[in-house]
Structure 1
Amino acid sequence: MPPSKPKPAPKTNESKLAKLGLRSDMDLVLHLPMRYEDETQVIPIREASLRGGHVSQVEGVVVKNEIAFRPRRQLLVTIADDSGDLLLRFMNFYGSQVKQLAEGTRVRARSELKHGFFGAEMVHPAYKVINEGAPLPTSLTPVYPSGEGLSQPILRRAIAEAMKRVDWRDTLPPALRASLQLADFEPAVRLLHYPPQEIDENALIERSHPAWVRMKFDELLAQQLSLKRAQVARRAKGAAVLKTTGALSEAFLDALPFKLTGAQARVLKEIRADLRQAYPMQRLLQGDVGSGKTVVAALAAAQAIDSGYQAALMAP
């Protein structure tokens, strides 16, 4: 992606964002949600109570607020709407929450609803203090990977601000996007941060949605380009040019009580070609246990010795 300028952010949050590797606008824009919450609808408390065991979002006015001490210190807040009432239970809370959830306050709460000793309740729900008639979100609410001291609202604000400033130029040519049927970069990113209510949520969760496919392609492309750059950098370094074969290599092959397999012979040919170059090989040879990797390594060592160099071979 095009480089972006470091984002301006409050110093109190800047270091916390940096710990997550979020140092630029593009870093923030590409910090994609790990899941979503549906806050686009509110259901009556009675209906939520009948659903029991499911995550629901309700809205009501605080009719009771008290701190209980049995069996442990906890804040108990009862909210009510026209259909019924609901207990919000907070085991860990701050003094500011007691004031924030004072009687008469309108609250929108979201959590799994359970049936306890005192009836329907939510334990540690996510909640917002709102005004009557406050609009509902029109898209699913993103939940981001976070760190210590970084709340979801802080991350959402930082990402939203970064999206206003970032350079949205698409690095993939239109013809390539069309031939590979890839989504455009900006719409794909915006959709992942703010998916519409009617979107296929399973495709988002499974990361099979076209927007996720574009992100995966970009990530793989960036990885391959990085490897290619590293390869070019390695080739700028010098290495001894080794001749293809010699007396030791030939004697080693003749002494083997078996013939090399087709795969072994092919890989040996590739390695010998690499060792004739004036830059480091840096090759990784993969294969199952017992597939014959060690003999190939020994033949490569013999090639070095035939060229007048020393070689070391370690094997388990």
Structure 2
Amino acid sequence: MINESALLESKSLRDGVLERTDVLDRVKALSLLPDGMHVTTAMVAAYFDVGLEAIKSLVKDHRRELEANGYHTLTGEPLRSFKDLSGIQSRTRSLALFSRRAVLNVAMLLRDSDVARQVRVYLLDVEHASRPQPVEISLHGNTAFLDDRIDQRITHILGRTVVPMFNTLIETAGEHQRELIALRAGVQQVEKRLRQHHARLQRLEAPRDDRPLAGVMASMDAMNGREFEEHIATLLRRDGCTDVIVQGGGRDRGIDITALTARGQRLVVQCKRFAPHISITSPELQKFLGAAKVLHDSEVALFVATCPFTRDALNIATETGITAVHRGLLEEWSAGAALAVLE
């Protein structure tokens, strides 16, 4: 099997696996801008746990390859239009954007990142496992098929049949004993490598507490505003809320969803699908507070956002009894955890 470091050196190998962008979310959830297609240089650096300069330097050295895979820079009117679409609040005159394919490309070029290394290892293992199966072979006139567990079957045969056979031959061999011993050692080495490969696949596929939930936030980042509101409404129904109504449009009076909790309390929800680098500020909490308490006389109020809250905003939420569902809490809620305020 190809070593993960080979991807660092071979462009042809990289080109052959660039369609496997799903691997990114299996290793660590990749958050996207609201357009559902791109990330900024800062977001790429955060994903790989490296400094901003490391990504800029890599782009400088491999710009042509990255551009072929979706990296580009916006300026002028295209930049202004993109800012309006994505909600990015920045005065920069240019903005570098990476597609998911370009991010995967970065993972195959970035040397000093544990996350990038994990992506490369996972990428090669998944690619190896997805090679066409079954393979037709002939055994005593019968047709057999090697399934995706072929490595385990070969390991079993080598350990239980081939190696014992060599042991018997070596005991009775004369002048060819040395050659048989060398062949047995080779077979045992192959068996060992197959066991290591199988153990690594099991480790990569197994659930891990320290690995972010793959794709949970990425899927929400790809939603439009209405889809995000419907997603939150689904979570409310899952957790026992009734009379869940998505208001939508310009008639929501500062509220996106109304409902009754499982205990019959009046519930209102504000939904904000912002880019991860934007924060919910205190004026937004104050505006929601007025709508929730004055206009809707709510007993439970949720402000749900795909981004963080500023310290002042969190303080206001705590003081007024609003539940601030920030990005991390939203990920847990979407993955099955219950919100305490709804229990």
TM norm. shorter chain > 0.5: no
Normalising by the smaller structure, the TM-score range is under 0.3
TM-score, normalising length: structure 2: 0.21
TM-score, normalising length: structure 1: 0.22
